Structure 1
Amino acid sequence: MKIGFIINDHATEKWNYTTPALGYAAYKRGHDVFFIGVGELSYASKGHLSVRCKTIKDRVFKGEETYFKAVQKEEFVNLSSKDLDVLFLRNNPADEINERDWAYNAAFIFGEIAMSNGVLVLNHPSSLAGAVNKMYFQHFPEILRPKTIITRDHNEIKEFFKEQKQKMILKPLQGSGGTNVFMMDKKNEHNLSQTIDAICRDGFVIAQEYLTEATGGDTRLFLMNGEPLQVNGQYALMQRVNASGDIRSNIHAGGKPEKVKMTDQIMELADIVRPKLVQDGMFLVGIDIVGSKLMEINVFSPGGLNVMGQMYDADFATPVIEAIERKVYYKSMYGDYLYNSRLATL
Structure 2
Amino acid sequence: MNLAFIINDIKTEKSDYTTVHLALTAHRMGHKIYLIGAGELAYTTDGRMSAQAHTVKDTKYKSSDVFLKVLQESEPVNITSDDLDVLFIRNDPSDDQNDRTWAQNSPYVFGQIAMKNGVLVLNHPVTLPNSINKMYFQHFPEIIRPKTVITRDQNEIEEFFKEQKNRMILKPLQGSGGKNVFLVEEKTKKNLKQIIEAISRDGYIIAQEYLPKAKDGDTRMFLMNGEPLKVDGKYAAIRRVNSNGDIRSNIHAGGHPEKAKVDEAMLKLADALRPKLIQDGMFLIGIDIVGDKLMEVNVFSPGTLNLMSTEYGVDFCKAVIEAIERKIHYKETYGENVDNATLAIL
The answer, yes or no, to whether TM exceeds 0.5 is yes
- Aligned counterparts, 1:4-153, within 5 A: 4-153=4-153
- Aligned counterparts, 1:154-165, within 5 A: 154-165=154-165
1:60-99 per-residue CA deviation (whole Å, 9 max, x = no partner) reads 2223332222222211111000110000000000111112
Q: CA deviation at 1:190?
A: 0.7
Partner in structure 2 of residue 231 of structure 1: 231
CA distance in 1, matches of 2:234, 2:73: 35
Q: How many residue pairs are counted as aligned between the two chains?
A: 346
1:240-267 per-residue CA deviation (whole Å, 9 max, x = no partner) reads 0111221111101111001112111111
- Aligned counterparts, 1:235-314, within 5 A: 235-314=235-314
1:268-291 per-residue CA deviation (whole Å, 9 max, x = no partner) reads 111111111111000000000001
Gaps of at least 5 residues in structure 1 are: none
**Equivalent position amino acid for 1:130 in 2:** N
Q: CA deviation at 1:143?
A: 0.8
CA distance in 1, matches of 2:81, 2:191: 51
CA distance in 2, matches of 1:107, 1:178: 23
DSSP-derived class of the 2:159 partner: helix
Partner in structure 2 of residue 176 of structure 1: 176
Worse-matched range after superposition: 68-77 or 323-332: 68-77
Report the RMSD for the aligned CA atoms in angstroms. Answer: 0.9
Percent of aligned positions that are identical:
60
CA distance in 2, matches of 1:49, 1:208: 40
DSSP-derived class of the 1:51 partner: strand
CA distance in 1, matches of 2:173, 2:61: 42
**Equivalent position amino acid for 1:156 in 2:** E
DSSP-derived class of the 2:206 partner: strand
Q: CA deviation at 1:177?
A: 1.4
CA distance in 2, matches of 1:249, 1:41: 34
CA distance in 2, matches of 1:76, 1:206: 40
**What TM-score do you get using the length of structure 2 for normalisation?**
0.98
DSSP-derived class of the 2:30 partner: coil
**Equivalent position amino acid for 1:76 in 2:** P
**Equivalent position amino acid for 1:312 in 2:** Y
Partner in structure 2 of residue 217 of structure 1: 217
Q: CA deviation at 1:180?
A: 1.0
CA distance in 1, matches of 2:107, 2:248: 27
CA distance in 2, matches of 1:66, 1:179: 29
Q: CA deviation at 1:15?
A: 1.3
CA distance in 1, matches of 2:61, 2:191: 53
Partner in structure 1 of residue 194 of structure 2: 194
Q: CA deviation at 1:339?
A: 1.2
DSSP-derived class of the 1:170 partner: strand
* Structure 2 residue 322 is matched with structure 1 residue 322: yes
Q: CA deviation at 1:322?
A: 0.5
Gaps of at least 5 residues in structure 2 are: none
Q: CA deviation at 1:29?
A: 1.2
Q: CA deviation at 1:234?
A: 1.1
Moved over 3 A (4+): none
**What TM-score do you get using the length of structure 1 for normalisation?**
0.98
CA distance in 1, matches of 2:168, 2:331: 47
CA distance in 2, matches of 1:14, 1:151: 34
**Equivalent position amino acid for 1:172 in 2:** P
DSSP-derived class of the 1:39 partner: coil
Worse-matched range after superposition: 213-222 or 334-343: 334-343
CA distance in 2, matches of 1:289, 1:247: 14
Q: CA deviation at 1:231?
A: 1.0
